[in-house]
Amino acid sequence: MQISLTKRTKLLFTGDERNDMADVVKVSVHGGHSGQFCCHAEDLLEEIVEEYIRQGFSWIGITEHAPAINDQWLYPDQKAAALTADILLKQFEAYMQECRRLQKKYAALITISPAIEIETYSGYESFVGYLINRYAPSYLVGSVHFVNDIGFDYSEEYYEDAVRVAGGMDVLYENYFDLQYDMINKLRPAVIGHFDLIRLYDPDYHARLKKPAIAAKVTRNLELIKKYGLIIDYNLRALHKGASEPYVTSSILEAARELNIAVVPGDDSHGISGVGNFYEEGVRTLQAHGYSTEWQLPA
Ligand SMILES: [Zn+2]
Ligand SMILES: [Zn+2]
């Protein structure tokens, strides 16, 4: 009796947007980068977790960046902060311990998954395997920030460098989606981070993604994601940074829905101020594209 009353109430309120949103469970598959464990983020991890709880999040993945495999792969800001691969590995160990402490401490209030966002430079496969064996994360966020061993998302200058090394923007896209395909096959990360990040500094990305050679690779990768039952991160940090839409772009969002792939919000927070940013806007776009808000858990 109680259940049918609730259902009827919901029906009566169909069209009331505030009420629709109140029913949506708040989650993040990708986020919780903290100043404590990442030099381009802010705040203590515990403060960030407390903010997720304050905003009523039900479950979150804390997905700190993997440490650099060796000093060759340090980002400029890590070098400037005098970090080394050794220091980062120790820091990562402390990160996993802190995640597990917070997971237990706040278990009654929020479900926390200690996870890792990976990199894809040369040698990543065995290094990620090592991290999995040593730290047993709940899951991986399979992101591609490096193509042909260049961290293309670090700055516009790095992006241009990546274009030059690839031999053009189209080829860079193709290299990116090939590397992503390979990474998904090798690691089957539960979550695919910002699937189309390669368009970051490309003003013509809508047209480029429609070029047959690139579109074919996007479709191939989506089909692989579907085959393995993986989740696509609906990365809202793009909006936080001033972009006009999240990752993935609306055309890929459409294609993913046609394949029935789970797309789940990730705020990709890098501090307290990034927690839950643009959540409602993101959910509304997903709903407008016909997505269910019964979010699939990464597993
Ligand atoms: Zn980051
Ligand atoms: Zn990322």
The encoded tokens of residue 172 equal 């860079």
Mean pLDDT by 10 residues, the chain (299 residues): 35 48 93 97 98 98 97 94 97 98 98 98 96 98 97 97 98 98 98 98 97 98 98 96 95 98 98 97 96 95
Per the domain annotation, does 4 fall within a domain? no
Per the domain annotation, does 296 fall within a domain? no
Of 126, 13, 16, the C-alpha closest to 66 is: 126
Using an 8 Å Cβ cutoff, are 30 and 193 in contact? yes
Using an 8 Å Cβ cutoff, are 259 and 226 in contact? yes
Q: What is the pLDDT of residue 23?
A: 86
Looking up residue 179, the CATH number of its domain turns out to be 3.20.20.140
Task: Give the closest ligand to the alpha carbon of residue 194.
Answer: 2
Beta bridge partners, 64, equal: 116
Per the domain annotation, does 241 fall within a domain? yes
CA of 15 to the centre of ligand 1 (A): 37
Per the domain annotation, does 185 fall within a domain? yes
- 85-105 helix and 124-135 helix, angle to the nearest 10 degrees: 40
CA of 195 to the centre of ligand 2 (A): 10
Task: Give the closest ligand to the alpha carbon of residue 247.
Answer: 2
Task: Give the closest ligand to the alpha carbon of residue 40.
Answer: 1
Task: For ligand 2, an ion, list residues with CB under 5 A.
Answer: 143, 193
What number of CA atoms fall less than 13 Å from residue 132's CA on the CB side?
15
Domain residues for the domain of 275 are 24-58+65-288
Task: Give the closest ligand to the alpha carbon of residue 144.
Answer: 2
Per the domain annotation, does 249 fall within a domain? yes
Q: What is the pLDDT of residue 22?
A: 79
Per the domain annotation, does 171 fall within a domain? yes
Per the domain annotation, does 7 fall within a domain? no
Task: Give the closest ligand to the alpha carbon of residue 64.
Answer: 1
Domain count along the chain? 1
Task: Give the closest ligand to the alpha carbon of residue 146.
Answer: 2
CA of 217 to the centre of ligand 2 (A): 20
CA of 10 to the centre of ligand 1 (A): 39
Identify the burial level of 193 via C-beta atoms within 10 angstroms of its C-beta, where 0-12 means exposed, 13-18 middle and 19 or more buried.
buried
Task: State the Cα torsion 55-56-62-65 to the nearest 10°.
Answer: -30
Per the domain annotation, does 10 fall within a domain? no
pTM of the model: 0.92
